[in-house]
Structure 1
Amino acid sequence: MKKIVCKRVFHGGENRVSMRFPYDSSLIRITRSIEGARWSRSMYSRHIPGNEKIIERLAGLFDGKAILDLSAIMPVLPVESRVHEAEDIKGKDLGAEIVSDKAFPLLGDKSKADIERFRKWLEVNRYPESTVRTYTGMMSTFLKFVSPKEAEECNSEDLIRIVDEYILPNGLSYSFQNQMASAVKKFYGKIYK
């Protein structure tokens, strides 16, 4: 698989993301499909608009087609927020920041069963594997955060609380917050109707 190196640049008076990779017609075709994508002779690379959803978008477009090096465009988190655990990493896609939730209690059997039901519902309804991983990872974090409450005891105040007490203090992105809200909304819309 070819590697695409992404880097934030200021080009033509705009914030852009340059994408450098060896010539590959299929990767070029995918890149051209991104709205606002252009070729720069001076940078000798393709570049796309550098908006806040770009990491998520690139991860979806190039999943299984190329290796993305997003290190130059990922937000930099404080050292204490960069604790990686194998379980945390396994459940999230390229667009999600990883912050250790080891300070939270472990999931109970009921919560684990709820997450497994949610995973099966997503798979049966043919959600992409990356979405299944992201949503179940987000729900795991959410249920650990609200513990000792069980899923059926939670309400919208708990979602507000996780934003105020976990997402914002840890410097997690707007994209992470949206993924969390989407996962919680889908979980309660389908598992606890």
Structure 2
Amino acid sequence: MKKIILSPVIHHNKKVLSIQFKYDNDVKNHLLKLESIYWSKTLRSFYTKLSLESIKTIFNHLKIKGCSIDFSQLEKYIEENKSKAIQNSHLVKQIPDNYKSDLLKFRKWLSQKRFSENTINTYVDVTTTYIKYALLKKADIYSTKLVEAFSYDYIFIPNKSVSYQNQFISGVKKYFEYNGFAHNEIQLERPRKEKKLPVVLSANEVKSIFNSITNLKHKALLSLLYSAGLRIGEAINLEISDIDSQRMLIHIKQAKGKKDRYTLLSPAFVKILRMYYVAYKPQKYLFEGQKGGKYSNTSAQKVLKNALDKTKIQKKVTLHSLRHSFATHLLEKGTDIRYIQELLGHSSPKTTMIYTHVTETSLKKIKNPFDDLF
């Protein structure tokens, strides 16, 4: 049985979770299927953020491989943080009816402002958590100090993403606006966005993913994401009538930013789509769940995960990686970036320009000075 040692360590002046084991390629590849797993030459081990959630995730993930997990060095950390969780358990209890009623009106107010359903759910969720925190602290909801305390306790300490922090700020700002409060009087500064390059698959890697899928519906879904450069939300919202096989276009309606657009309908994908349609006979949406209605985001993620398990791809691939790969491969084939911007539905060319940093074609043109030494 392969032994894994989990322990809290300091790395770059920050506490992280060290994952140590005697080198085993099978264990390494299985571990890297998780997000946010890094290798440290200094620690000579893999590591990730330190939290109760990450400990649980690592433990369950490696148990699948039959590993023996030694987390004895984490016992003190687990006990201390469990106590904090119990101490703050008031946060998960029901809030008073007057706040429930106010949040329901807040939701309706956001709907009238024509925010998307996803945005409304996110804003209401983060605002609900913030209100619970205010009640726990017995503090004024509109206090600058409370906003700062919440940011520290629930965003900085748990090492939440910059994206989550921005969602919190946006949600609370809208709640303040809804209540007629001058939110600009409170300092709600946004953090700098992380400048990360997208994960891009090679054409052979994309092909290997498709070749690993035997289920026709699953193959059709992932093929659509790549061949049309769609977001997963756009794909599962597609209706049968949105496919225009005469003009070889796909009509994307009210996508991000409430914009309509057209994107490519691949002739090769049409062949797969027709076979899928005959076999599954969807009624309204192009991809439907077993009980009808839209196919779920979660099911789509499982489809990709199962496909990746069958390949030897070690990149941290998500459904969105197929969209990134579509854009990058178009750019490498010489497609004008303005057309790529239109196909992806980007508001600004600056967003599309990120793909110029990951194109294989442009990087290959650079002569490496190391080659001149030999």
Q: Which structure has more RCO (C-alpha within 8 Å, separation ≥ 6)? A: 1
**Larger radius of gyration between Structure 1 and Structure 2:** 2
User: Whose strand fraction is larger, Structure 1's or Structure 2's?
Assistant: 1
TM-score normalised according to structure 2 size: 0.26
Looking at secondary structure, tell me which structure has more helix per residue.
2
